[in-house]
């Protein structure tokens, strides 16, 4: 009877720990992130000048017009129309080690990102390693055929840690509770039947 209780408790702990591992892996691949519209810019985009994360980890795209004017739109803005694109004077300097590619595909070396809402005209794929950290932040800006610009971004942080630690703690609590319940049921039933 005691062996059965220990085996069932150990199995319960293993199942919960495996589930927490898969959830944390799913999170780290950016599976909980989705594409969001930033609206249609009020001008024709000539090229993507820069993509960067600001101090609050908001991904921002900066583009130029045919007349070399510089406009930007932040990824986490609640605004999603032409008025939201603001003209700026220069590109801010950052201390991040970053990589930006502009291609026809939205692709990632680190994450499994969802496809944009429709086929993009171009996609600005950006990843950086924050200065003094090992976390890779990612942003993908896609312009669709109708001129609408969409964004997908992933910034790892406390969320992954909390999911992993929460899964481990929950598995321990669940496993110990299961062992306790089965042990008490075994004490009430001395014949060895549950």
Q: Is residue 94 part of a domain?
A: yes
Same domain assignment for residues 49 and 116: yes
- As beta bridge partners, residue 74 has 60
pTM over 0.85: no
Q: Is residue 193 part of a domain?
A: no
Q: How far apart are CA 181 and CA 9, in angstroms?
A: 10
Same domain assignment for residues 111 and 128: yes
Q: What is the pLDDT at residue 158?
A: 60
Same domain assignment for residues 44 and 121: yes
Same domain assignment for residues 179 and 146: no
Q: Is residue 42 part of a domain?
A: yes
Total count of domains within the chain: 2
Same domain assignment for residues 15 and 57: no
- Domain carrying residue 105: 33-156
pLDDT in tens, the chain (194 residues): 567 766 777 777 777 777 777 777 777 777 778 888 888 888 888 888 888 887 777 888 888 888 888 888 875 566 666 677 888 888 776 655 567 888 888 888 778 888 888 989 999 998 887 655 557 788 899 999 998 899 988 887 666 566 666 767 777 777 677 777 777 776 776 655 55
């Amino acid at each position: 009877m005691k062996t059965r209780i220990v085996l069932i408790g150990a199995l319960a702990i293993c199942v919960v720990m495996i589930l927490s591992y898969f959830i944390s892996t799913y999170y780290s691949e950016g599976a909980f992130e989705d594409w969001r519209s930033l609206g249609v810019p009020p001008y024709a985009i000539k090229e993507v000048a820069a993509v960067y994360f600001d101090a609050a980890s908001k991904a921002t795209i900066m583009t130029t017009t045919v007349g070399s004017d510089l406009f930007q739109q932040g990824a986490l803005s609640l605004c999603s129309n032409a008025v939201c694109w603001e003209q700026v004077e220069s590109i801010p300097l950052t201390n991040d080690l970053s990589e930006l590619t502009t291609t026809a595909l939205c692709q990632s070396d680190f994450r499994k990102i969802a496809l944009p809402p429709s086929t993009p005209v171009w996609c600005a794929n950006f990843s950086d390693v924050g200065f003094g950290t090992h976390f890779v932040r990612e942003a993908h800006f896609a312009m669709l055929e109708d001129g609408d610009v969409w964004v997908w971004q992933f910034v790892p942080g406390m969320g992954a840690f909390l999911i992993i630690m929460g899964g481990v703690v929950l598995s321990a609590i669940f496993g110990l509770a299961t062992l306790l319940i089965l042990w008490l049921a075994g004490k009430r039933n001395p014949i060895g039947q549950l």
